[in-house]
Amino acid sequence: MSTATDLALELAKNAAGRLVPTFVNGNDQTPYLGVGQYQPTGRKASPMIPSNRNYPSDGDKRVPDLETALRLCGLHDGMVISSHHHLRDGDAVALETLRIAANMGVRDLMWFPSASFPSQKPVIELMEAGVVHHIEGSMNGPLGDYCSRGKMRGMGVLRSHGGRWQAIQDGEVHIDIAVIAAPAADPFGNANGTIGKSACGGLGFALADSLYADKVIVVTDNLVPFPCVPWQIQGNNVDYVVEVPSIGDPSKIVSGTTQITRSPDRLLIARYVAEFLRDAGIMRDGFSFQAGAGGIALAFVDYLRRMMKEAGVKARFVRGGSTRYLVELLNEGLTGYILDGQTFDLDGVGSLASDPRHISTSPFTSYNYHGKGNIASMIDAVVLGATEVDLNFNGNVVTHSDGRLLHGIGGWQNCLFAKCTILALPSFRDRIPVIVDEVTTLTGPGELIDVVVTERGIAINPRRRDLIDATKNSKLPIKTIAQIQKEVFDLCGGRPQKPRLTGNPVAVVKWVDGTVLDTVWQVET
């Protein structure tokens, strides 16, 4: 396996003008070719053919504990272990899996989470001890810092939710053992996330793992007699089932209730977003939109809802991040459906469990680019955040402006394919300008980003003449992106210094088609 400090590192300039490695963690890489330019060839990955003869005829796959399950799966050095993040910061299972591996004396594992959280900071110790070789998945806070300082042995690989599905499906990542924490499961291995004391909503992020991994272990704190319905994870794909007292801390899995931000500045931006959707004619009967779980990306829903009521407009469907605010829309008849990728509060969980119009989606249906279309591309409007956006409308979500890893991509890249992609963000944060000359780390190409909404004004991508024309009579403060940048630079006392980065890559950012979009460089300490 190549390491991050390999001196014979080969870098190539990709279609976005970014320098990227062509060989990462033992695999050849294709540099980014442009939006929709890469044509995959070959067939999807496939697991080995199983046979009923090797599984209990009574359908009871239970084993006493997780360690037994891992041993039976043949856990050994160098394997790829995957986990999902539906239990968010309350997850106990992923860390426990890696700790058991440490106790068993296993080394050099690749951890492949769908996302990581602050409570998984102890993985740093496991990396120091050599149990974990590297992480391919988002790395927040302390884990991100560790990687940014060049301490991780392998290179980090950041993928979107859709990109993770694509990587598994295309055989780019081969999962040896998938460990699926499930709020409800039966002894056969059917599982869901909607019922039980640790209920989290859907389990979509674990779906690809269950289909493609060599071995699949379901871990639950709520074993029910067969059948466990609804079965989002099919027991027919599961090897072992483990019952534990608790899979995590419910108070950190979903919040009791979601509160919209009270910050007047954020609310102002949210109002501008809703007014833009109205003035541009995007808000109309039968339209669709996507909301986030918090911040501005959620707050705009409140304003939009009032405008929809006033205009007598109903959405055909909304996508989320579901929270009580989307559930309210459903109950008020303002949307026909909620398509739910991840549930954030108890109202969302309850609605998903009881309302047939509230439907679970997976990264396959919503986000996968190597498929025959996906839902995120069909949406009329999506509202996203970013750490930076540049004069060409390119966006960054993975690093701070100083180059340090901040968080993962999530569904952000996948959502860029919506008909109208809006980045809603403050024009500066703590004297740090958000509109920069060139993004520090390219996460999304500007040709897909249509509108930037800040408290100081709204900039429309010059490529979108249709949006510019549609809003020419709007009272909104529409400016060029360069004008907003200049206002902010004047406020902040000039152009900021550029970060001091080394020439050593510590992670790569993949595009939705598996090509390499940009490099995250080690920060100077």
Partner 1 sequence: MTTAAVEPQQIFSAGRSGKDVRSDLRVTFEPRASGGLEIDLASRVSTYYGDSIRAQALDVLKQMGVTDCHLAIEDEGALPFVISARIESAVRRAWGGKGKRVLLERTAAQAPLQRDRLRRSRLYLPGSEPKYFVNASLHAPDAIILDLEDSVHPDEKDTARILVRNALRAVDFGSCERMVRINQLPLGLADLEEIVPERPDLILLPKTEAAEQVREVARKIAEIKHRHAISDPTWLMPILESALGIENAFAIARADDSIVALTIGLEDYTADLGVVKSLEGAESLYARTRLVNAARAAGVQAIDSVFGDVADRNGLRAWGEHSRALGFEGMGCIHPGQIPVIHEAFAPSKSEIDKALKIVGAFEDAKTQGRGVVSLGSKMIDPPVVMRALKLVERARAMNSIKPSN
Site residues (CB under 8 A) for partner 1?
A: 262, 264-265, 267-268, 401-402, 429-432, 455-456, 490-494, 496-497, 499-500
Closest among 283, 288, 297 to 378, alpha carbons compared: 288
Q: DSSP strand E in 148-210: where? A: 156-158, 177-182, 184-185, 191-192
Cβ proximity to partner 1, 28 vs 430, nearer residue: 430
Smallest distance, partner 1 to C-beta of residue 416, A: 27
For 326-341, the three-class secondary structure string (H helix, E strand, C coil) is HHHHHHCCCEEEEEEE
Smallest distance, partner 1 to C-beta of residue 302, A: 13
Which residues are paired to 191 by β-bridges? Answer: 185, 233
Cβ proximity to partner 1, 249 vs 402, nearer residue: 402
Smallest distance, partner 1 to C-beta of residue 386, A: 17
CA 499 to each of CA 161, 438, 439, 464, 507: distance values in angstroms, whole numbers, following the listed order? 28, 12, 11, 32, 17
Smallest distance, partner 1 to C-beta of residue 15, A: 29
Cβ proximity to partner 1, 249 vs 302, nearer residue: 302
Cβ proximity to partner 1, 42 vs 493, nearer residue: 493
CA distance 161 to 416: 13
Cβ proximity to partner 1, 43 vs 262, nearer residue: 262
Smallest distance, partner 1 to C-beta of residue 115, A: 26
Smallest distance, partner 1 to C-beta of residue 261, A: 12
Which residues are paired to 478 by β-bridges? Answer: 458
Q: With beta carbons less than 8 A apart as the criterion, state whether 202 and 84 touch.
A: no
Smallest distance, partner 1 to C-beta of residue 348, A: 25
Cβ proximity to partner 1, 66 vs 481, nearer residue: 481
CA distance 291 to 320: 5
Smallest distance, partner 1 to C-beta of residue 429, A: 8
Q: Residues 6 or more apart from 359 whose CB is under 8 A from it?
A: 337, 338, 339, 340
Half-sphere CA count of 211, side-chain side, radius 13 A: 18
Q: With beta carbons less than 8 A apart as the criterion, state whether 84 and 209 touch.
A: yes
Q: Residues 6 or more apart from 514 whose CB is under 8 A from it?
A: 30, 38, 40, 163, 166, 167, 170, 172, 370
Q: With beta carbons less than 8 A apart as the criterion, state whether 365 and 374 touch.
A: yes
CA 28 from centre of chain? 24
Cβ proximity to partner 1, 210 vs 401, nearer residue: 401
Cβ proximity to partner 1, 169 vs 401, nearer residue: 401
